[in-house]
Chains A and B, each alone.
Chain A
């Protein structure tokens, strides 16, 4: 049914359709976007599952990500080894979560991981400070940054341990409908 393509086997495409929010056409389109980043590295035949990884510099130069202040964290969160270098699987995963079809809880989960700079499963004060600096382009003084982080932790920390766990974060997201 539809165009015959030779990049993936039918089972691979079915698996991708089941595991991401994308349709068949969108998966193929994303594959071509992935390939366009480095045509010499990415083969046109994925049926034998080649192990191809694109370095972070290429991913970060994509027009959708290049102006996003969190692009490095996004790439690190979705990459296999946490270094920002992404295989096609990671690539599809990232766009699937960032697409508008992903539910808010899934996005909240990954947003938490993105804001957790030191990967300790808690957003502590230093993570928040880095977030604020990225969001405001280092325009605030360090006292202001510190004050803001203290206020955020004070408001959102439900179990009073001085840092935000995933549960605190999700609790805040539920009550703040502006989260995109």
Chain B
């Protein structure tokens, strides 16, 4: 645009020549110039660099020329290597097609699904390598017979396999006499602990990244201009989707204009009271439903346990009866959200966005309270029951829940999308094609992942099962989407969606899982007869015992010191928290100062 004076260009070339290779390439890529100009600048920069190096050093000897040649070919090799890694990112082509046909909001569901899948793949790999493979070396023979029902109920033959906590030995495995030994207890607790720490860090950093990119001060956003100039989704290439988006945008603009023309509706005092009463009633109804669902699940679970303990029969009937609890839980999880959605319609919110947010919050409360009541049941009832191996029982329960939830997810896709399309196109044409319900599907994913995370401690291979489940869900959802659904009509705030998904995954889900695992590891007594922690007073006692053993070795005194003074000392955490609070407060004040600065600067520009 502005004719770059010769000086400006020389300055640019000079500054580019001073950068490192990587930064230089990035800077050239970002230049808003035509390709021809960029190539000219690049050539000039390269000439400048060779000129400088010739000024600096002596004659470029054979050696330096060789090295430079080697550096160039190494960079080319690095480029082609990163190309191959890029191809390894699974399903890139599928994701692009989905984004092109349905827009970015539907795409964000699938991106979230692949993200969760990576968590499970990682967990499965480390659990398998560090816990299961050593266990194979010290495995006891399995005397039970295999009937087909195991795949659904997870008990029977599977009870004596590496699938569950109970099978793992508490011995120190060593194949060779006086050779290197492998302490299974420490391996178990450290692998699971490390995994959760890494998950925590990944979630934290992803959340921070998305927050910093997408957090918009709601007062400063200029609704109309951003709607017009920024929301066109250039990813869409499907003609139908484009037409739909255009119609949607024109409707929105029309609505926006009529809102301005209409007077702001002042509700009379009676009407306001009426509205507040309706909202309170709806909230009472939804919380009451959630509590009723939890009570139902709890009593069913206790009943189940009593029957199981009393009967102890191993025939098919009683084993199939174990499936009733997961089915009821999944049924409640599937049907009650429809009730909440209907409640939301009754309430007549002021904007559709509010309706969606309130419904999602209610569904989250429902799902998390069901998980919570189940955890309470497992940790307080099952763990203290006099039985052979409570961890394996809990693991089996979780296995069944995960499996039935997966089946219900597939069924939901079948009924919600396939049948609905048939009804919408043949019987009741006014309904039209269904839309892909992003909110409900994402909450299903979060629920499934919460169960998997809780189950890692009791069933180390559960992430592998969930991994397979997610694979299948991806394909089924994709096929169902392409065949049955139409692009979404409402415009979501698409970039805020990924932020809210990750936030929902972190806040109720992951933190809840951490507290459950914390209680299990620190407070509960492991069962006497099975598992790697048998005989100890708690699972954490393995670590304290190990520290005590280490105290006798002088070479590892530093580990003991770190443990006593940093990890198990309250003073250290107190000081750490104070520092974090102080730093947060300072950053907050800096932000306030910057806001005032922006206001002042803006006034200066206008005048």
Contacts and interface: CB of A to CB of B under 8 A. Distances in A.
B229 A131 contact: yes
Contact of B35 (A89, A136, A172): A89
Contact of A24 (B34, B73, B79, B496): B79
A65 B100 CA distance: 11
B238 A20 contact: no
Contacts of B39: 15, 19
B32 A132 contact: no
Identify whether the interface residues of A are mostly helix, strand, loop, or mixed.
helix
A105 B30 contact: yes
Interface string A38-54: 00000000000000000
Nearest to A179: B230
Contacts of B35: 19-20, 89-90, 92-93
A155 B224 contact: yes
B242 A144 contact: no
A36 interface: no
Interface in B252-297: 253-254, 256-257
Nearest to B96: A100
B283 to A, nearest CB: 30
B495 interface: yes
Contacts of B32: 106, 109-110
A63 B237 CA distance: 7
A20 B30 CA distance: 8
A148 B239 contact: no
A21 B29 contact: yes
B489 interface: no
A151 B224 contact: yes
Contacts of A90: 34-35
Contact of A18 (B25, B214, B249): B25
A80 B76 CA distance: 30
B253 A152 contact: no
A67 B30 CA distance: 28
A21 to B, nearest CB: 6
A19 B225 contact: no
B605 A177 contact: no
B225 A155 contact: yes
Interface in A113-146: 115, 121, 128, 131-132, 135-137, 139-140, 144
Given A19-B29, A89-B36, A175-B217, A137 B247 contact: yes
Nearest to A145: B253
A7 interface: no
B63 interface: no
Contact of B80 (A2, A65, A69, A109): A2
B242 A69 contact: yes
Contact of A121 (B1, B213, B238, B256): B1
B222 A155 contact: yes
A136 B228 CA distance: 10
Interface string B24-64: 01001110101110110011000000000000000000000
Interface centre among A18, A106, A139 (most CB of B within 10 A): A18
Interface centre among B1, B233, B496 (most CB of A within 10 A): B1
Interface residues of A, number: 63
Given A19-B35, A89-B36, A131-B228, A177 B83 contact: no
A111 B233 CA distance: 12
Contacts of A136: 246-247, 249-250, 253
B228 A178 contact: no
Given A144-B254, A160-B606, A172 B229 contact: yes
Given A19-B39, A64-B237, A178 B226 contact: yes
A180 B29 contact: no
A21 B82 CA distance: 13
B257 A98 contact: no
Interface string B210-235: 00011111001111111011111111
A172 B226 contact: yes
A109 B31 CA distance: 10
A64 B247 CA distance: 20
Contacts of B599: none
Contacts of B230: 172-173, 176, 178-179
A92 B493 CA distance: 31
Interface of A: 1-2, 14-15, 17-21, 23-25, 63-70, 80, 89-90, 92-93, 96, 98, 103, 105-106, 109-111, 115, 121, 128, 131-132, 135-137, 139-140, 144, 147-148, 151-152, 155-156, 158-160, 166, 169, 172-173, 175-180
Closest 5 CB pairs of A and B: A136-B250, A176-B226, A155-B222, A89-B35, A179-B230
Given A90-B35, A176-B226, 19 more contacts: A23-B80, A89-B36, A121-B1, A128-B228, A137-B250, A139-B246, A139-B247, A144-B253, A148-B256, A152-B225, A152-B229, A155-B223, A173-B230, A175-B222, A176-B221, A177-B215, A177-B496, A179-B231, A180-B494
Interface of B: 1, 25, 28-30, 32, 34-36, 38-39, 42-43, 73, 76-77, 79-80, 82-83, 86, 104, 213-217, 220-226, 228-239, 242-243, 246-247, 249-250, 253-254, 256-257, 493-496, 602, 605-606
9 contacts: A15-B39, A18-B25, A23-B86, A70-B232, A90-B35, A93-B35, A152-B224, A175-B222, A176-B226
